């Protein structure tokens, strides 16, 4: 058996590392099959050699995150453990520089994972950025945060948010109201993010002035979008023609962020997905960055990560079985 000890000088940091009712410690013990005891200002880890070393690295990373003002919860434990297991614990230190902006209530918006930090850095450095990854990785939220930051700094004079009006597997029929009322349900996630960043009153005021525009993708045709921060959400539901049309709207002093999840394509013919094509065509074009998230970057409820992993495992196994059946001449 191996034993390691970590000294924590602040009782506040010790409390955050342990979590409510020691839930963070229990999660770490389960992850590495070790015993962790927090007493006074010391954390004692007991178990097998490699497991103890990994648990110690994870706890030190959690302590660093707490000391730099980041939230430490069960989701953090799972993420930090995954980074430690892959030998990437050192990259967690970079998250202290991931602040993006403040919300209307004063909450700090920052990158919570290394994947998110790379995404934010890519948006700072490139004219067009693709954010590709599963649900819950903060693709849209961080893009809106970066747009609001650029808008407040007067780097751009307007924010334009758009997404294709494609139903997710169900027919809603004719919706009541005028055109804005009809497209609002499709654009609700974008509204929600803007409300949080700007506050409802400020958002409404900018909407009335035209400095913030939220519109369906069809409204982009024929326009030149100058001095704007433009976000296309749910891009996996664009056709090749639609995405090419959108990309060629880029005007002077503008930036674009395109987000999407290629595992949630709602197009009738998935072979015509514009996002999949663009990822191949534009990968080596200068000033265009393609950032891909993994299930490690999921920052929603921890079950979202488990759900994504379960589906990946299921479809991977299904693909292998299908290949096996075909090789045997089965239909």
Predicted pLDDT of residue 328? 52
Closest to 124 measured CA to CA, from 102, 93, 145: 145
Euclidean distance between CA atoms 18 and 76, whole angstroms: 12
Predicted pLDDT of residue 65? 87
Helix 274-281 × helix 240-247 angle, to 10°: 60
Closest to 193 measured CA to CA, from 155, 163, 224: 163
Euclidean distance between CA atoms 71 and 145, whole angstroms: 19
Angle among Cα 40, 43, 47 to the nearest 5 degrees reads 145
The tokens 């700090």 sit on which residue? Answer: 108
Identify the segments of the chain with pLDDT beneath 70: 96-99, 166-186, 271, 301-302, 318-331
Q: Which residues pair with 38 in a beta bridge?
A: 43
Three-state secondary structure call for residue 3: strand
Closest to 81 measured CA to CA, from 68, 65, 96: 65
Using CA atoms, how far residue 131 sits from 45, 77, 190, 233, in Å, is 39, 25, 15, 10
Predicted pLDDT of residue 159? 95
Contact between residue 56 and residue 29 where contact means Cβ atoms under 8 Å apart: no
Predicted pLDDT of residue 250? 95
User: Can you give 301-323 as a three-state secondary structure string?
Assistant: CHHHHHHHHHHHHHHHHHHHHHH
Q: Is 7 exposed, middle or buried (0-12, 13-18, 19+ CB in 10 A)?
A: exposed
Closest to 274 measured CA to CA, from 244, 300, 296: 244
**Can you list the alpha helix ranges (DSSP code H) found in 210-267?**
240-247
Q: What is the β-pairing status of strands 228-232 and 158-163? A: parallel
Predicted pLDDT of residue 318? 64
Half-sphere exposure of 248 (CA within 13 A, CB side): 8
pTM of the model: 0.80
Predicted pLDDT of residue 172? 43
pLDDT, tens only, 197-236? 998 889 889 989 999 988 888 888 889 999 999 999 999 9
Contact between residue 237 and residue 266 where contact means Cβ atoms under 8 Å apart: yes
Closest to 246 measured CA to CA, from 262, 267, 264, 228: 228
């Amino acid at each position: 058996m191996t034993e390691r000890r970590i000294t924590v000088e602040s009782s506040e940091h010790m409390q955050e590392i342990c979590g409510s009712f020691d839930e963070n410690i229990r999660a770490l013990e389960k992850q590495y099959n070790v015993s962790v005891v927090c007493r006074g200002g010391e954390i004692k880890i007991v178990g097998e050699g490699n497991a103890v070393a990994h648990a110690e690295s994870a706890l030190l990373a959690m302590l660093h995150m707490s000391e730099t003002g980041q939230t430490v919860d069960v989701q953090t434990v799972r993420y930090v453990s995954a980074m430690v297991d892959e030998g990437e614990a050192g990259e967690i230190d970079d998250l202290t520089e991931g602040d993006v902006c403040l919300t209307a209530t004063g909450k700090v918006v920052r990158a919570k994972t290394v994947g998110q930090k790379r995404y934010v850095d890519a948006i700072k450095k490139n004219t067009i950025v693709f954010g590709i990854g599963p649900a819950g990785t903060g693709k849209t939220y961080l893009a809106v945060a970066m747009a609001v930051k650029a808008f407040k700094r007067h780097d751009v004079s307007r924010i334009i948010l758009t997404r294709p009006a494609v139903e997710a597997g169900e027919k809603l029929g004719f919706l009541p109201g005028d055109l804005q009322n009809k497209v609002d349900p499709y654009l609700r996630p974008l509204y929600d993010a803007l409300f949080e960043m700007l506050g409802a009153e400020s958002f409404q005021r900018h909407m009335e002035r035209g400095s913030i525009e939220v519109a369906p993708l069809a409204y982009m045709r024929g326009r030149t979008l100058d001095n704007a921060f433009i976000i296309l959400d749910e891009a996996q539901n664009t056709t090749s023609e639609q995405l090419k049309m959108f990309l060629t709207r880029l005007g002077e002093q503008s930036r674009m962020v395109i987000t999407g999840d290629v595992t949630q394509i709602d197009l009738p013919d998935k072979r015509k997905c514009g996002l999949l094509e663009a990822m191949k065509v534009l990968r080596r074009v200068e000033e265009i960055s393609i950032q891909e998230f993994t299930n490690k970057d999921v920052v929603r409820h921890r079950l979202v990560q488990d759900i994504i992993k379960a589906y990946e495992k299921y479809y991977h196994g299904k693909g292998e079985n299908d290949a096996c059946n075909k090789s045997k001449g089965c239909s």
